[in-house]
Amino acid sequence: MMLTDWWHRSYADRERKGEGQRVRNIDERETSISRLLHTPHWRCARNQVVPPSSESRRAVLTFGLMLQTLYDYFWWERLWLPVNLTWADLEDRDGRVYAKASDLYITLPLALLFLIVRYFFELYVATPLAALLNVKEKTRLRAPPNPTLEHFYLTGGKHPKQAEVELLSRQSGLSGRQVERWFRRRRNQDRPSLLKKFREASWRFTFYLIAFIAGMAVIVDKPWFYDMKKVWEGYPIQSTIPSQYWYYMIELSFYWSLLFSIASDVKRKDFKEQIIHHVATIILISFSWFANYIRAGTLIMALHDSSDYLLESAKMFNYAGWKNTCNNIFIVFAIVFIITRLVILPFWILHCTVVYPLELYPAFFGYYFFNSMMGVLQMLHIFWAYLILRMAHKFITGKQVEDERSDREETESSEGEEATGGGGAKSRALANGHPILNNNHRKND
């Protein structure tokens, strides 16, 4: 009853606010639902005829009305469009096509298609390329079966402390040194192979490079590429062209595929940040499409793709052991990343999306939402720039350069360190290194 009372109070309030037409439309749906619910009988799952009670009819009716109300409020024009504009203004007319939210439905099946294409690419392109570049797998010694140690590994942690090593030694009948060796080998079993890392880097390098070239082809001849104020010329009544449509659909589908495969891909220390980045990117691309921020969206996507393919190529050469090539590409990547993500994006693109729209319309929810999500991405860029600068500092000081995000495989030569430091903090520090650029595979090219 409380929900029903709330609905009728909401009805009266919205009538007073001049929204009677929209409420009357909802009333028509309410009448249709009521007519359906007042049929003589409902059939349950076992084909038994059961007369519906008035309480069940009221509950279903109220729930349906609540869902419809939430749907109507979500797509309320005042949320996503500037004042005095409606979705009707963005209906296709006179041969001009406008972006619609329903266009985005195709991205989910396209994401699944990307996963299929990726599988065959890694099998028939990346794997032969790895063999050509002499990417070799290291021989890994497997940990012998031991139920006691396996149970602790799965439930207690992968890095037992010294006291836990001694306890496990007594329980398993092994020496402390043998327990440490077992855990080291067991951790190595769970780490992704070098070939898997190379395949992933090859796939992403290929996509980012093609996407960057295609993105530049889409925007380089547009006037707003050279004059940011033209991004908002005529907004939001800006029609789309096929190249913009496919650029958006392919980019969004690719990020959906990354999100779908993130659990099986190589996990890095910034795993949570990667999820946040993928989700924020998907939300931004989707919103910028149906709210017609397409001109700004194409600029942002091309800007992001401009450095990503450099990072992936540096990883590929690192896994192949081409030390000098890897390091040189990484230096170029660091420069491009800093310029695009910490200079161009905040001082040109964000300035364009924050300042120029207010010259045309008062701020509305969509304006705040879009720029808030851009702020989330910018915070991630600052975080990653910090990691990049740390690696660049190691270049300058002549230290061994490693990816601050990935895992380094432990070797049997680390037994001496484990014997000295036990299974405590020292051995865990040795276990938590990372190679994007650790250059374990030395080859002077």
Q: Give residue-wise pLDDT tens across range 72-108.
A: 888 888 888 888 888 888 888 888 999 999 999 999 9
Burial (CB < 10 A; 0-12, 13-18, 19+), residue 126, is: buried
Cα angle value 424/430/435 (rounded, 5°): 150
pLDDT over 90 at 164, yes or no: no
Q: Name the token pair of 329.
A: 């590409």
- What 3-state DSSP class applies to 93? strand
Q: Which residues contact residue 208 at a Cβ distance below 8 angstroms, ignoring those fewer than 6 apart?
A: 305, 308, 309, 312
Least confident piece of the model among 123-127, 147-151, 393-397: 393-397
Alpha carbons 193 and 62: distance in angstroms, whole number: 55
42 DSSP assignment: E
pLDDT over 60 at 67, yes or no: yes
Alpha carbons 326 and 341: distance in angstroms, whole number: 21
Contact 72, 26 (CB under 8 A): yes
Label residue 53 by pLDDT band (50, 70, 90): low
- What 3-state DSSP class applies to 141? coil
Label residue 434 by pLDDT band (50, 70, 90): very low
Label residue 14 by pLDDT band (50, 70, 90): very low
49 DSSP assignment: E
Specify the pLDDT at position 437: 52
The reply to whether omega before 236 is within 30° of 0 (cis) is yes
- Give which of 428, 409, 429 is closest to 139, Cα–Cα: 409
Alpha carbons 20 and 338: distance in angstroms, whole number: 53
Label residue 263 by pLDDT band (50, 70, 90): confident
Specify the pLDDT at position 182: 86
Q: Which residue has the tokens 């009538």?
A: 15
Specify the pLDDT at position 401: 52
pLDDT in tens, 317-367: 999 989 889 989 999 999 999 999 999 999 999 999 999 999 989 999 999
List residues bridging with 50 in a β-sheet: 42
How many CB atoms lie under 10 A from the CB of residue 328?
Answer: 14
Label residue 60 by pLDDT band (50, 70, 90): confident
Higher pLDDT, 290 or 59: 290
Contact 312, 188 (CB under 8 A): no
What percent of the chain shows pLDDT beyond 90?
42
- What is the average per-residue pLDDT within 424-432? 35
Higher pLDDT, 152 or 219: 219
Specify the pLDDT at position 216: 96
Least confident piece of the model among 74-88, 239-253, 286-300: 74-88
pLDDT over 50 at 191, yes or no: yes
432 DSSP assignment: T
Alpha carbons 209 and 216: distance in angstroms, whole number: 11
Alpha carbons 291 and 371: distance in angstroms, whole number: 13
Q: Which residue has the tokens 């993928």?
A: 278
Specify the pLDDT at position 167: 85
Contact 401, 301 (CB under 8 A): no
pLDDT in tens, 380-419: 999 999 999 888 777 777 665 555 555 555 555 444 444 4
pLDDT over 70 at 188, yes or no: yes
- What is the average per-residue pLDDT within 198-222? 96
Q: Which residues contact residue 158 at a Cβ distance below 8 angstroms, ignoring those fewer than 6 apart?
A: 183, 186, 187, 190
Alpha carbons 127 and 120: distance in angstroms, whole number: 10
Specify the pLDDT at position 168: 83
Specify the pLDDT at position 424: 41
Alpha carbons 191 and 414: distance in angstroms, whole number: 17
Alpha carbons 198 and 416: distance in angstroms, whole number: 30
3-state helix, strand, coil in the chain (%, to 5): 70, 0, 30
Alpha carbons 61 and 58: distance in angstroms, whole number: 5
Alpha carbons 73 and 268: distance in angstroms, whole number: 39
Q: Which residues contact residue 91 at a Cβ distance below 8 angstroms, ignoring those fewer than 6 apart?
A: 98
Specify the pLDDT at position 343: 96
For the residues of 167-233, what is the DSSP string, one character each? HHHHHHT--HHHHHHHHHHHHHHHSPPHHHHHHHHHHHHHHHHHHHHHHHHHHTTSGGGT-GGGGGT
Least confident piece of the model among 86-100, 138-152, 201-215, 296-310: 138-152
Burial (CB < 10 A; 0-12, 13-18, 19+), residue 399, is: exposed
Average per-residue pLDDT for the chain: 80
Specify the pLDDT at position 406: 53
Helices (H), ranges, 42-126: 54-74, 77-80, 107-121
